[in-house]
Structure 1
């Protein structure tokens, strides 16, 4: 069952918009979930942190840059668990890493992400973490748009768990 408080908080933050929108993967949609509006709203962040904290059970956390960073940070504070940040590609300066933070070989990590559409962004993070020696078999997202992410991740032995689905969020809207 969907978390009604989180649905109301996302709506109150005006994070759910209707119209014609182009999505990052190139497709279009008649609604948009604006992660920047809910990730900069303290009430939304608190609810997400509490919900994620109830699901991470003592494992290392990983946030997908950029959208997953505020989510993994508040979840880390809520749980006391350390986290790393997975970049889409290595920086071309400084340490030139794809994984920022401390990660030990063989460590089990759960990926935290804002919105899953195709699942490509979460999968990129999973692959980077696995290449760095982590064990990754779960990804937690705030909203699953129900457009293939669950299947793509399952094809790579990763379970997708969503706090909300698009069906939950758009019901009665």
Structure 2
């Protein structure tokens, strides 16, 4: 592992973002560990390390997209770091106001990289990719902070999208205090 990844793992642990026990996950499954995105997304050290790592991987991209709600702090911090504009992709259109699935300015044909917090099954990332593609964007990559290694990579591949993770669950849990 690179020193940057080691620093990120240490910061995630320091922020107490990795918890052990019995947890129900958003897709309905259970897990013996939980990665609390709100603890790492609200920690300035973690957020800085994540946005720096994402920034290195999105050089030259026209637009970033964050999956609502969890990835919004990540995409905002990365946008500031890179000077790259971003949009927010919703799972479904809101029922008030503009009723948009994509918030922000997006032009047809723009290359967009989706940023996400944690990938488990990959369904929320697929939903975001589909919304962006329906709006005319070209999407071929999703960057996540943590890949739980539970099928997201395979599902995204089926949709023509590459998943790139800063950290895998294997990396994060190796030698972790339980």
TM-score by length of 1: 0.99
Aligned residue-pair number: 173
Give the match's secondary structure for 1:111. Answer: strand
Give the match's secondary structure for 2:16. Answer: coil
- Structure 1: state its 5+ residue gaps: none
Tell me the distance in 1 between the aligned counterparts of 2:75 and 2:170.
Answer: 24
Q: What is the RMSD computed on CA atoms of the aligned residues?
A: 0.6
- Structure 2: state its 5+ residue gaps: none
Partner of 1:31: 33
Give the match's secondary structure for 1:76. Answer: helix
Tell me the distance in 1 between the aligned counterparts of 2:50 and 2:14.
Answer: 15
Pick from 119, 129, 132 the counterpart of residue 135 of structure 2: 132
Partner of 1:56: 58
Pick from 110, 114, 123 the counterpart of residue 111 of structure 1: 114
Tell me the distance in 1 between the aligned counterparts of 2:114 and 2:150.
Answer: 19
Aligned pairs for 1:1-173 within 5 A: 1=1, 3-59=5-61, 60-173=63-176
> 4+ runs of 1 displaced by more than 4 Å?
none
Tell me the distance in 2 between the aligned counterparts of 1:76 and 1:20.
Answer: 35
Q: CA deviation at 1:49?
A: 0.4
Give the match's secondary structure for 1:53. Answer: helix
Q: CA deviation at 1:58?
A: 2.0
TM-score by length of 2: 0.96
Q: CA deviation at 1:47?
A: 0.1
Give the match's secondary structure for 2:127. Answer: helix
